[in-house]
Amino acid sequence: MTSVDQPADRHVVDSWAVRLNRAVYRAAHHWFAWFVLISGLWVGLPWLAPIFMHLGWTGPAEAIYFVYSFQCHQLPERSFFLFGPKAMYGLDTIQSAWKDTLNPLVLRQFIGNAQLGWKVGWSDRMVSAYSSIPLAALVWWPLRKRIKPLPVWGFLLFILPMAVDGISHFFSDLAGIGQGFRYTNAWLVDLTHHSFPNWFYYGDALGSFNSWMRLITGVLFGIGLVWFAFPYLRASFDATSRQAETQFEQAGVDL
């Protein structure tokens, strides 16, 4: 009985091993397509939240806001809005529409209304930083054989602007939302001799200095990450694919 069962059991084990190896091979061989698909879904979901709210699908929208709240502060004065008269709103407008508070835990709860539109599920910095990764990857892919990986020092240069901008915002916000040195940017007014309009220096609205810095530094982060990491990811997945191909050839099994 044992001698009869063992080959059958071995056949089952071999079958599952072949299936697993084949799945690993296909995942490694098509890793870039999987990355674009999954990352595209991840960066697209926050934009579905305001669309769902506009359609009256509050359940799915609130679920998206909840999931992304663990990744982002979701402050409304630093977020994009859809289906309203403006793409972004100043702190005073948010306070008038929601609650007259500077408490970030209260402010972040405002997702919009029919008059202002509905908030995207994460802030403008997250939009620029994370969306730029799959976009930069799509640019890198056709050039992958012609450009060398970015060295570590180059990667640090790409992420340094976002680190400086984010850390300075953090310390500025310790004085209170709308109270710190990054809200008025008086230092920049003096540095540029007031060469730009007041709205450029003040607040977080779209087109302001703070808004531009979050968008630009986020894009630089995404480009630097792809340029630095993706050549190594490609090399690793290619090695995995070749190893799987060799094993299948030696076993006489088709991929």
DSSP string, 10-28: HHHHHHHHHHHHHHHHHHH
Residue 21: pLDDT band (50, 70, 90) is confident
**In the predicted model, what is the mean pLDDT of the chain?**
90
The residue behind tokens 């004065």 is 77
**Residue pair 108/75 in contact by the 8 Å Cβ criterion:** yes
**Residue pair 123/73 in contact by the 8 Å Cβ criterion:** yes
Of 76, 182, 68, 51, which Cα lies nearest the Cα of 130?
A: 68
> Quick one: pLDDT at residue 23?
80
b/e sequence 202-225, b meaning 16+ C-beta within 10 Å: bbbbeebbbbebbbebbbbbbbbb
> Quick one: pLDDT at residue 220?
98
Residue 182: pLDDT band (50, 70, 90) is very high
Counting Cα atoms < 13 Å in the Cβ hemisphere of 155 gives 11
Q: Is 116 helix (H, G, I), strand (E, B) or coil?
A: coil
| More confidently predicted of 152 and 22 | 152
Alpha-carbon gap, residue 122 to 194, rounded angstroms:
32
Residue 253: pLDDT band (50, 70, 90) is low
Alpha-carbon gap, residue 195 to 188, rounded angstroms:
10
Task: Using the predicted structure, report yes or no on whether residue 5 has a pLDDT greater than 90.
Answer: no
> Quick one: pLDDT at residue 27?
84
Task: Using the predicted structure, report yes or no on whether residue 9 has a pLDDT greater than 70.
Answer: no
Residue 217: pLDDT band (50, 70, 90) is very high
Tokens at residue 57, please? 């699908």
Domain range summary for the chain, segments of one domain joined by + = 2-251
Angle at 114 between CA 113 and CA 115, to 5 degrees: 90
Alpha-carbon gap, residue 80 to 209, rounded angstroms:
16
> For residue range 124-146, what is the model confidence (pLDDT) as tens digits?
999 999 999 999 999 999 999 99
Task: Using the predicted structure, report yes or no on whether residue 10 has a pLDDT greater than 60.
Answer: no
First-to-final CA distance of the chain: 34
Residue 80: pLDDT band (50, 70, 90) is very high
Residue 15: pLDDT band (50, 70, 90) is confident
> Quick one: pLDDT at residue 4?
47
Alpha-carbon gap, residue 239 to 252, rounded angstroms:
20
In order of 2, 7, 8, the CA distances from 14 in angstroms are: 18, 10, 10
Q: Give me the mean pLDDT over the 134-163 stretch.
A: 96
> Quick one: pLDDT at residue 243?
83
> Quick one: pLDDT at residue 37?
96
> Quick one: pLDDT at residue 255?
61
**One-letter identity of residue 103:** N
